[in-house]
Chain A
Amino acid sequence: MSASASTTEPLLAVKDIRKTFGGLVAVDDFTLELAPGEVVGLIGPNGAGKTTVFNLLTGVYKPDAGSISVRGVDTGWLSPDRITGLGIARTFQNIRLFRDMSVVENVKVGFTPVKRQSILGAVFRSPAFRHEEKEIDREATELLELMGLQDLASARSASLAYGQQRRLEIARALASRPKVLLLDEPAAGANESESADLQQLIRDIRERFDLTILVIEHDMPFVMSLAKRLLVLDHGVTIAQGLPETVREDPKVIEAYLGQEAHQ
Chain B
Amino acid sequence: MDFDKLLNFWGHHLVMAGVWIALALSLNLINGFTGLFSLGHQGFWGVGAYVTAVVLTVLPAEMGWADAGMLSFLMTFPLAMLVAALFGLIVGVPCLRMRGDYLAIATLGFGEIFRNIAINSEWLGTSQGLSVPNVFRAFLQEQIGLERMAARRAEMFFYIALSWAVALLTLLLLRNLMRSAHGRAITAIRDDETAAELLGVNLTRYKVLVFVLGAALAGLAGAVYANYQRYVSPNQFGFMQGVIFLVIVVMGGMGSFSGTILAALLIYAVPVFLTFAPDTWVIPIFYDPTQGGVVHRSLKDLWQVFFSLMLIIVVLLRPQGLMGNREFSLVKLWRRLFGKKSESASTSGEAGA
- Hey, which bits of chain A sit against chain B, CB under 8 A? 58, 60, 79-82, 84-85, 89-90, 92, 96-101, 105, 108-113, 115, 117, 119, 122-125, 129, 132-133, 136, 152, 154-156, 159-161, 164, 172-173, 176
Max chain A C-beta neighbours (<10 A), residue from B173, B194, B197, B353 = B353
A133's nearest neighbour on chain B, judged by CB, is B180
Interface residues of B in 177-191 (CB under 8 A from A): 177, 179-185, 187-188, 190-191
Q: Jot down 17 A-B pairs with beta carbons below 8 A, ordered by A.
A: A58-B198, A79-B203, A81-B202, A96-B192, A100-B190, A100-B191, A101-B187, A109-B196, A112-B185, A112-B199, A112-B200, A115-B181, A119-B209, A124-B176, A129-B180, A159-B352, A176-B200
Q: How far is the CA of A253 from the CA of B184 in the complex (A)?
A: 44
Q: How far is the CA of A129 from the CA of B179 in the complex (A)?
A: 11
Separation in Å of the A226 CB from the closest CB of chain B? 23
Which chain B residues border A115 with CB–CB below 8 Å?
181
* Docked-complex contact B353 and A119, CB < 8 angstroms: no
With A80-B197, A156-B351, A172-B199 in contact, do A98 and B177 touch (Cβ < 8 Å)?
no
Which chain B residues border A132 with CB–CB below 8 Å?
181
- Identify B195's interface contact among A82, A85, A92, A129, CB under 8 A: A92
* Docked-complex contact A136 and B197, CB < 8 angstroms: no
* Docked-complex contact A99 and B191, CB < 8 angstroms: yes
- Identify A60's interface contact among B184, B185, B191, B194, CB under 8 A: B194
* Docked-complex contact B180 and A84, CB < 8 angstroms: no
* Category for how many chain B residues contact A: 20 to 34
- Chain B contact surface mostly: helix
With A81-B197, A159-B353, A160-B353 in contact, do A123 and B177 touch (Cβ < 8 Å)?
yes
With A123-B173, A155-B351 in contact, do A109 and B209 touch (Cβ < 8 Å)?
no
Which chain A residues border B350 with CB–CB below 8 Å?
156, 159
- Identify A123's interface contact among B176, B185, B190, CB under 8 A: B176
| Contact of B100 with A by CB under 8 A | no
Which chain B residues border A82 with CB–CB below 8 Å?
202
Q: How far is the CA of A173 from the CA of B200 in the complex (A)?
A: 10
* Docked-complex contact B182 and A122, CB < 8 angstroms: yes
- Identify A98's interface contact among B176, B187, B255, B353, CB under 8 A: B187
- Hey, which bits of chain B sit against chain A, CB under 8 A? 173, 176-177, 179-185, 187-188, 190-192, 194-204, 209, 255, 325, 349-353
With A155-B351, A159-B352, A160-B353 in contact, do A98 and B197 touch (Cβ < 8 Å)?
no
Separation in Å of the A164 CB from the closest CB of chain B? 6
The 4 closest A-B pairs by CB, nearest first: A113-B200, A122-B180, A98-B191, A96-B195
Q: How far is the CA of A119 from the CA of B206 in the complex (A)?
A: 11
Separation in Å of the A92 CB from the closest CB of chain B? 7
Given contact pairs A84-B199, A98-B196, A122-B182, a sample of 18 additional A-B residue pairs in the complex whose CB atoms are under 8 Å apart: A81-B198, A101-B187, A105-B187, A109-B201, A110-B199, A111-B181, A112-B185, A112-B199, A112-B200, A119-B177, A119-B182, A122-B177, A122-B179, A125-B176, A133-B181, A156-B349, A160-B353, A164-B353
